[in-house]
Structure 1
Amino acid sequence: MDRFGVLIQGVLAVVAFSTLMLKRWREPNEERRPWKIWFYDTSKQAFGALFIHFTNVFLSDLTEEDPCSLYLMNFLLDASLGMLVIWLSVKLVSLIIERRGCTLLVFGEY
């Protein structure tokens, strides 16, 4: 990857983070999460996105095919099938937690 590619990725990272900050500041004060919880939620999403991004960059470089097409294909599969698997997993774990009565493990409860 050349310097221009790294620059573009840096600009996109700044835009993404700025969007999250703008969204937080636009939320009504009574609905706004505390900074600590907001940071935990945001960093969890950022680490997941970074992992997928670097995985896609690595995988798209393995073949002689167009790396942009492979990156897009991996991204779309993750955003569709990956999200479906995560959603089904959360539903299953939530059901198990509810049936066992483990109130400390309820999703979204801090």
Structure 2
Amino acid sequence: MTNRFDFIRALRNEQNLTIEELAEKANVSVDLISRLERGDRNDISVVRLEKIMNAFNLELGDIFGRSKLDDISDKFVTKFLQMNETNQRQYATIFLEILELNK
């Protein structure tokens, strides 16, 4: 099974950082980084993920640059990432409710 956060370990290894160094740079806990890399945690707030990406000198949107998104998906992700955290939560909740209706 593929871990959705494998890229964190790959980026950390590319930059020769220990888990402790990355956690300090990103101002997040060592436990968070460790659990994400092991696949023991499948969720993370946008704020924390952004901190980790910034520690690699990358933008949060760079995660999506590694995948092929069509224009509509790209526009959706770009607009979503530009929202403040409160609006992200509200829109994510609405979006998830819509997806549940389409089951």
The TM-score with structure 1 as length reference comes to 0.28
User: Per chain length, whose mean CA-contact separation is higher, i.e. which structure has more relative contact order (CA < 8 Å, sep 6+)?
Assistant: 2
> Higher Cα Rg: structure 1 or 2?
1
User: Which structure has more helix as a fraction of its residues?
Assistant: 1
